Each structure stands twice: as structure tokens, then as C-alpha cells.
Amino acid sequence: SRSGFTLRQPRVNSFGRLSVSTKSSVTDAEQYNFESLDFGDRAFDNWTVLSGYADRLVSRGLTVVAPQDRYAVLCPEKWGEKFFDEMQQKFCWQILDVQGMSIHLTLDWQSVNEDSIKFLEAVNPKKEKLKAVVVRLNTREAGISIEPIAFLRDGEKENDTVLNIAFDFDRIISVQSGLLERLRKKFGRDKIATRMTVAGPGSAAGDDDIDELGLQQAGGAMLPSSLRRLLEDAGVMVTHMAESGVYILSDSQKQKALALKERLGACGLTALAEALGAMALYDSADGKNRDNSCRSSVAANLLISSYLLNLHWQVINGGALNEV
């Protein structure tokens, strides 16, 4: 397919194959040139003429069509749209002749055709300088289907003029096609930076809390700055209660604890929110708040809150738990 030559004094072995011989030689070698090819009556640039030829391939009576007669060469004037026919489960490629009439190259979606369809999807007619396509005309109930076999092109690179759709996918892919993706991974550009907004639901200052926040890096984990401040505020309250021994909060402390509960719950930290909220529910006006069972309950919620705070910081920083 790449050159024509004359083989002098060939030797054939017992299997009918060419045998190596020092007396054999090649002469009259000629460079393959697409323009000089003569396909005889098998080349078509007019689909009306092709239709007449295809009609003769339909077997009638006892007439049997020679298999090689089903192969033809189509020379499109224009390469059209590619698409996948979901109803027929076929890959289709529209090609137009010199009169603007269109037909479709089709290939059934089967496991044996996966590489061929991958090639057809990727090949660029302009880049590869495609001139013609070798096809097989298949007779079906719905008529004649045109199956692509190989493409013929101008062989400017190493006289490479034939592209087989089943085997030559690597030959149409640029050597540098994966360079951009490799550079992105090397320099960490394959990750898309995101931004997060966090609001305090139900609070008067909710609009002030809704701001576009950059992501801070905390020990290798990405954490919104508002969530970091929220955990820090909760930690200050828990530490104050633990160090002072106070288990009944003032009105201002209750409001702060309930606000923290709502914001923690909105962020998905429900266990920590419930523990802080339970401590804010105790009221000094209720005599039951002063018995030992009440103090034990407050101490338990305080311990749970401290543990959960340490657990969340461990996940964020990837370190060990602090002692409670």
C-alpha cells in the first residue's frame, strides 16, 4: 500500500510463502502517490452512480456476488457530521459528493468494533488530509449499508498513506496529546479551587455572616474560616465552664450558647450542638437545677462537648486527640 516494486528471482517454500534468498532482489521501486492510483470502476465521487453499482450487488436467483465486488473507494467532496444513532445502535458519519448529496458511513456498536468507533470519533479529516475511504457494501433488509474499512490520505509523513480504523488509532494521536494533563498534575493544577458561604440562620446579624469566604488551610485540611471561628467560640465557652465550675449560665451566656447551637446544627455538627444546647436549658429558678443529678447531667454534657471539640480538631488537623 506504500510503494510499488518488482521482485526478481523470488523463492517459494513448501508452504507457498516467500523464502529468503540471496538471489532475490527488488527493482523498479516507486514511491506511493495517491493521485496516481487507479481504482477503475470501484472509485466513486457521485453517490447516484454508487447507488446503481450497489443495486447490482443484490443476489438475484442463483447469481452469487463475488465478495471482492463489495469493496469500493469513495472520494467525498466534504466530510460531514458524526453522530451516534441510539435507535439503531450505530455510529454514523455523513459524507457528501460533488453534487452535495449525502450518505452515511455506518458501523454497528459491537465489542469487536469498539476500537474502530474510537478511531472514527477521533480522526480529523482536515488534519489527517483524508482523500478517500475504502468501504464494504453490505446487503441488508433495509437496503445497502456502507461500512468504512480504511482511509487513504496524502502521505507527507513517512509516506504514511493508509489508515486502518481497527488498528491505527495511535497513529492519529499526537505525541504531545497528554502533555497538558501531565503538567497539570505535576504542578497541582488538576484541582479546581472552590469557595464556600456560611450563614447563621435565625440571627439578626445573618446577613453580616453571609460573606464569600476563602478557604484556610489547617494542617493540610481545607476549612472555611467561619467554621473555624465557630469551633473556637464553642471551645472558649466549654473551657470557661470547665475551669470556673459554673454549671448554670447567665442570660447572656445562654443566648450565646443557643446561638452556637443553631449555627453548629446548620453546619452539620448536630451532636456538639445538642450538648451545648442542653447546658443552656438549665435555669437557676428551678430548684431541681441545684441537686446532684442536675450537676451530673451538666458535667456529662460538658465532657461530651469537650470530647467532640477535640475530635473535630483532630479531623481538621490530622493530629492526635488532646486530653479532656
Q: What does the alpha-carbon distance between residue 266 and residue 196 come to, in Å, rounded to a whole number?
A: 14
0.85 surpassed by pTM:
no
Given a cut of 70, whether residue 145 has pLDDT beyond it is: yes
- Predicted confidence at residue 315, as pLDDT, reads 76
- Predicted confidence at residue 24, as pLDDT, reads 73
Q: How many domains does the chain have?
A: 3
Residue 302's Cβ-side half-sphere holds a number of Cα atoms within 13 Å equal to 21
Q: Directed axis angle between helix 270-280 and helix 225-244, to 10°?
A: 40
Say if 203 falls within a structural domain.
no
Tell the residue number behind the cell numbers 447469481, with chain if given: 63
Q: Beta partners for 197?
A: 212
148 and 270 share one domain: no
268 and 156 share one domain: no
Cα–Cα nearest to 145, from 184, 106, 89: 106
- Predicted confidence at residue 235, as pLDDT, reads 82
121 and 216 share one domain: no
23 and 52 share one domain: no
At 84-132, the pLDDT tens digits run 988 888 999 999 999 999 999 999 988 889 999 999 998 989 888 898 9
Cα angle: 12, vertex 16, 21; to 5 degrees: 20
55 and 171 share one domain: yes
- Predicted confidence at residue 305, as pLDDT, reads 82
Say if 190 falls within a structural domain.
no
Quote the domain boundaries for residue 11. 3-31
Q: Beta partners for 11?
A: 19
At 205-260, the pLDDT tens digits run 444 443 333 334 444 345 677 778 888 888 887 887 777 666 667 777 778 888 88
10 and 108 share one domain: no
At 261-297, the pLDDT tens digits run 888 888 788 888 888 788 777 654 444 444 445 556 7
74, 95 contact by CB (below 8 A):
yes
